[in-house]
Chain A
Amino acid sequence: MTKTPVQFRLNGMAAATFADPGANLLDVMRRGLGDLSAKYGCGQGTCGACTVLIDGRPRLACLTLAEEVEGRDVQSPGGIAGEALHPLQEAFMEHFAAQCGYCTPGMIAAAKALLDRNPRPDRDEVIEALSGNICRCTGYEPIVEAVLTAAARLSGSNVAGGWR
């Protein structure tokens, strides 16, 4: 089977690998490059567990051909924390916004895409932005609260969020 070379930036670093024809970005990231932070949940674009940011936009890695990201900038959930945790991650921890944790990386990636684009979303916009991410145990309420809290902190005000 002829493999295709793919080069892109993953979390700010140059990444290169060989992908099977038709291989999706999720498999290439996980098995090819060893970045395991995006998860497989359905393989058909319905659960959002594999959400990553491609050029800053939320995309489903299971539905993205590896070859499509050639030369582009990919951020995985594992690359969202810099030297310190991202405010979203802090807020998820405070709000108990994870239980089993399997959907959490995708949730945080989707939420980060929202906040990068819209620093002060209202509740409805948060819900809309997370509508493609399924959680089966936490319940969505703490997650929405966490995103609102992070938004408030990022934009320098503490109006929304906080402990319920």
Chain B
Amino acid sequence: MTSIEFRKDLFADERDDDLNEIGKPTRRQDILGHVTGRTRFYDDHLFEGLLHMRAVRCPHHHARIRSMDLSAVESAPGVVRVLTARDVPVNLNTLLSLMDFGKDDEEVLSTSVCRFRGEAVAAVIAESEAAARAAVALARIEWEPLPHVLDVYAALEPDAPQVNPAYPGNAFEYHDRYDHQKLRFGDFDKAVREAAHLVEGRYGISPIEQAPVETCGAIAAPETSERYVCHTSTQGLFFSLGTAAKITGLPSSRLHFIGGTVGGGFGGKVDSMHEPLAVLGAMKTGRPVKYMWDREEEMQVGAPRGGETWEITDAVAADGRILGRRFRGFFDSGAYTRLSSYAVIKSVGHLPGPYTIPNVSADVYCVFTHRTPATAMRGFGITGVDFAMECHMDKVAEAVGLDPVELRILNAYRDGDMKAHRRLAKNCALVESCQVAAAKAGWPISAEAASQSSMLGGGEGWRADIPALTATDADGRIGARLGGATPAGGFGGGFDGASASRPSSSAAPTPGSGPAAAPGAASAPPPYPSGGTPAYTAGGTPAYAAGGTPAYAAGGTPAYAAGGTPAYASSGTPAYPSGGAPSSAPASPAGGSPRHSPWPSFATPPEASPSRAPAPPPASAATERPGPPPGAHPTPATGATPDAPAANPSGAAPGASSPDVHRPDAPFTRGVRRPGARPFTSGTRRR
């Protein structure tokens, strides 16, 4: 791979590529309307006899409705109709049910329990907004406040209040089976054994409200053709249409949705909360109904970017090469799923960022708390962990005494490198970006770093391989579920499996447990069930028994590097810096072979800094240390999951079964090669 491939080449056969607009100023086609105030946003459509809808909302984070008396509301001046759950044809929904993903877990109007502050229990339709507002204040609801949990760690404790009955363990369940997304690439534990430094950190972002200047809303009105027209602020028109059709029970052919002019969205207008209720209001009253959030609702009830917490542990060679990186991530989905389940998938596909790291391990959870449900916002699933990783890179640079820019250049992807999700990197540009940024900032970098290129030094030897120790099944996927079944017992194994302790809300990340727990769990040979031949050999070629059926069966503790020595044996644990200060842990290797140039010659495997002699065990059990390998969960998986891919949605290993055959009748899916196109390696192949 010596030259850059451009998208325009890949799609040359299907676009008119004259690029006449590039490099010169142009005018937005819609800007004349913007500057004259004539652009019609959803609320800029006038309807005679327009009614206004406002919601009665729960004032608690978590509360049961003991009784609800809406008689005063119904008889208030100007009120035309009051809707409750009984009026909603299909009251239970989840956004991604349109894609058959996830369980219906959220009520349009709550029937008995509210799970976040501001959840709607009734919708008041009145002649004016003021009348609706006044009537809402007359609702008499007796609330029974229930214990709530607002922190992802606390939510995963065994005795945490249950947030969402569809997911009793307070974590989204992928494919009804897996309580998290898992990524395994190479052998993180081996990297730890070979590392000179272990650098640990925990990073978080709080929820962020998109705060568009136009608040979310919709106006629906009956048309004479027995259809309902709906003007909406939505960012996903057909998404909203489908959701409204499902909730109202109308065929979508009776819904006429008009949108596309959005007064700022940033992801916050994809939730389709307004259209179903506005249409339902129009159905029930026969009049135009507007359901619009005011600013307070936009901020309190409007779904934000969810909070995220990331724990990162890097195993770093003395020369600054990152040999292994482990993540544990927690997305705060709030009370309902909305789109956070998808954010986690996206995020895991992005790990470990734009760096070539031969050993990667990640467990990422989509956690329910009693916060406002989270949804999309500009790069959700990516920006949070990018923030974490880049902070961490600086910490690593400090730990190894390397310039932070040079550290990034050293570890950056090169074209042709294998990424952790089993796709070859291409069109890489991090090296060049770093060089340009350093130049513009007047930040001196070494001649070696300045001479690096994304197009050189990658794609050969180990950098293009899936590491031999990567656990895969016959389909190139990762093995069985590690976390145990669900909820109730699911997290019992602890995130690292060795102890029953789960991260607690107050504790800093304390991977694993005491030394006592680790060795046993880690070194026990995986008890393969009958018929299941141990899958992984050191050579990495899965040897499957019986007709190639993957070996993971009931009770099978997931095997991770079966032949390999489990890491973190009690004697070999690198001292872990507690408090997370950059560690220059047990000074590396033996007399330190003269620091050989770390810059990619890359044809040979990263000889981890001369084998790290096992450090003496930590002085006391209290010393924070890494837990046992992620694969060492003692909790047996329940339920036979013969082909159980635990995580990464990536497809087969490259090279396997490439769909080179052009089938003109088959629908186009991204990443599929078409005749005449040059090899396309970085797309995702959907299953």
Contacts and interface: CB of A to CB of B under 8 A. Distances in A.
Interface in A61-100: 76-78, 80-81, 85, 88-89, 92-94, 96, 98-100
A102 B36 contact: no
B266 A136 contact: yes
A88 B36 CA distance: 10
Interface in B1-52: 25, 27-28, 30-41, 43-44, 46, 50
A53 interface: no
Interface stretch (A35-43, A115-123, A124-132, A153-161): A35-43
A2 interface: no
Contact of B128 (A20, A44, A80, A99): A20
Interface residues on B, range: 35 or more
A94 B26 CA distance: 8
B390 interface: no
Contacts of B32: 93
Contacts of A46: 295
A31 B46 contact: yes
**B77, B213, B266: which has the most chain A beta carbons within 10 Å?**
B213
Interface in B617-644: none
B264 interface: yes
Interface in B518-547: none
B214 A39 contact: yes
A39 B263 contact: yes
Contacts of A105: 34-35, 37
Contact of B31 (A22, A36, A81, A93): A93
A21 B128 CA distance: 12
Give chain A's interface secondary structure class.
Answer: loop
A34 interface: yes
Contact of A39 (B31, B77, B213): B213
**A37, A38, A41, A105: which has the most chain B beta carbons within 10 Å?**
A41
Contact of A101 (B25, B33, B77): B33
A113 to B, nearest CB: 15
A76 to B, nearest CB: 7
A85 B35 contact: yes
B34 A101 contact: yes
Given A44-B295, A103-B213, A134-B213, A37 B37 contact: yes
Given A20-B130, A42-B295, A100 B264 contact: yes
A149 interface: no
A49 interface: yes
A44 B298 CA distance: 13
A60 interface: no
Contacts of B40: 36
B579 to A, nearest CB: 39
Contact of B36 (A41, A81, A134, A163): A81
A96 B30 CA distance: 11
B369 interface: no
A108 interface: yes
Given A41-B213, A41-B214, A163-B25, A36 B44 contact: yes
Give chain B's interface secondary structure class.
Answer: loop
A28 B625 CA distance: 66
Nearest to B50: A31
B176 interface: no
**B32, B265, B266: which has the most chain A beta carbons within 10 Å?**
B32
Given A93-B32, A102-B263, A102-B264, A34 B46 contact: yes
B87 interface: no
A152 interface: no
A104 B38 contact: no
Contacts of B38: 37, 78
B264 A89 contact: no
A114 interface: no
Contact of A102 (B46, B77, B213): B213
B132 to A, nearest CB: 13
A47 interface: yes
Contact of A76 (B31, B37, B211, B262): B37
Nearest to A79: B37
A135 interface: yes
B46 A98 contact: no
A47 B130 contact: no
B110 interface: no
Nearest to A136: B264
Interface in B259-298: 262-266, 294-295
Contacts of A37: 36-38
A38 B44 CA distance: 10
A41 B35 contact: no
Contacts of A92: 31, 34-35
Contact of B295 (A43, A81, A98): A43
Nearest to B25: A163
Interface in B211-266: 211-215, 262-266
B130 A43 contact: no
Contacts of A102: 41, 212-214, 263-264
A101 B295 contact: no
**B33, B128, B214, B295: which has the most chain A beta carbons within 10 Å?**
B214
Contacts of B215: 40-41
A15 to B, nearest CB: 16
A9 B382 CA distance: 52
Nearest to A146: B35
B31 A100 contact: no
Contacts of A101: 30-31, 33-35, 39, 263
5 contacts: A20-B130, A36-B44, A96-B27, A99-B28, A108-B35
Given A37-B38, A85-B35, A92-B31, 19 more contacts: A20-B128, A36-B40, A40-B214, A41-B215, A80-B37, A93-B27, A93-B35, A94-B27, A96-B28, A98-B28, A98-B34, A99-B28, A100-B214, A100-B264, A101-B30, A102-B41, A105-B34, A136-B210, A137-B264
Interface of A: 1, 20, 22, 31, 34, 36-44, 46-47, 49, 76-78, 80-81, 85, 88-89, 92-94, 96, 98-105, 108, 134-137, 163
The 8 closest A-B pairs by CB, nearest first: A37-B37, A101-B34, A102-B263, A105-B37, A42-B295, A77-B37, A89-B35, A78-B37
